[in-house]
Structure 1
Amino acid sequence: MTIEALTPDELDDLARRAQQGDRDALEALLAAVRPRALNVCRGVLPHLPDAEDACQDALINIANKIGSWGGRGRFTTWMHVVAVNSARTTYRRMKNQATAADPQEVGPLERPDPRTTSVIAGTRLDLLDAMETIEKDHPQFVEPLLLRDVYGMSYEEIAEQVGAPLGTIKAQIHHGRRLARPLLRGE
Structure 2
Amino acid sequence: MCARFLPCREDAEEACQDTLLALAQGITRFEGRSSFCTWLHRLAANRARSTYQRLRRPFDTAASGTPLPDAPDPRRTSVIAGTRLDLLDALDCLSPDLAESVTLRDVLGLSYREIAGLQSVPEGTVKARIHEARRQLRQKLTVAPAPTGAGVS
CA distance in structure 1 between the aligned counterparts of 2:47 and 2:80, rounded to whole angstroms: 24
Higher helix proportion (structure 1 or 2):
1
Q: Tell me the C-alpha RMSD between the 2 structures.
A: 2.3
How far 1:66 moved relative to its partner?
A: 1.4
For 2:51, the equivalent position in structure 1 comes to 90
TM-score, with normalisation over the residues of structure 1? 0.66
Query: Alignment identity in percent?
Result: 42
SS at match of 2:128: helix
Q: Confirm or deny: 8 A CA contact 2:7 2:85 kept in the other structure.
A: no
Matched, 1:184 2:141: yes
Pair 87,115 (structure 1): closer, same or farther in 2 beyond 3 Å: closer
1:46-99: CA deviations, max 9, x gaps? Answer: 222111111111111111111222212210100100011011111111111xx3
How far 1:116 moved relative to its partner?
A: 4.2
SS at match of 1:100: coil
TM-score, with normalisation over the residues of structure 2? 0.80
Corresponding residue to 2:59 among 100, 103, 120: 100
Q: Confirm or deny: 8 A CA contact 1:112 1:123 kept in the other structure.
A: no
Corresponding residue to 2:100 among 143, 147, 151: 143
How far 1:159 moved relative to its partner?
A: 0.9
How far 1:165 moved relative to its partner?
A: 0.6
For 1:35, the equivalent position in structure 2 comes to none
Q: Confirm or deny: 8 A CA contact 1:134 1:142 kept in the other structure.
A: yes
Equivalent residue letter for 2:138: R
* Divergent runs of 4+, >6 A: 112-115
Unaligned runs of 5+ in 2: 62-66, 145-153
RCO comparison, higher one (Cα < 8 Å, 6+):
2
For 2:94, the equivalent position in structure 1 comes to 134
Corresponding residue to 2:5 among 44, 67, 91: 44
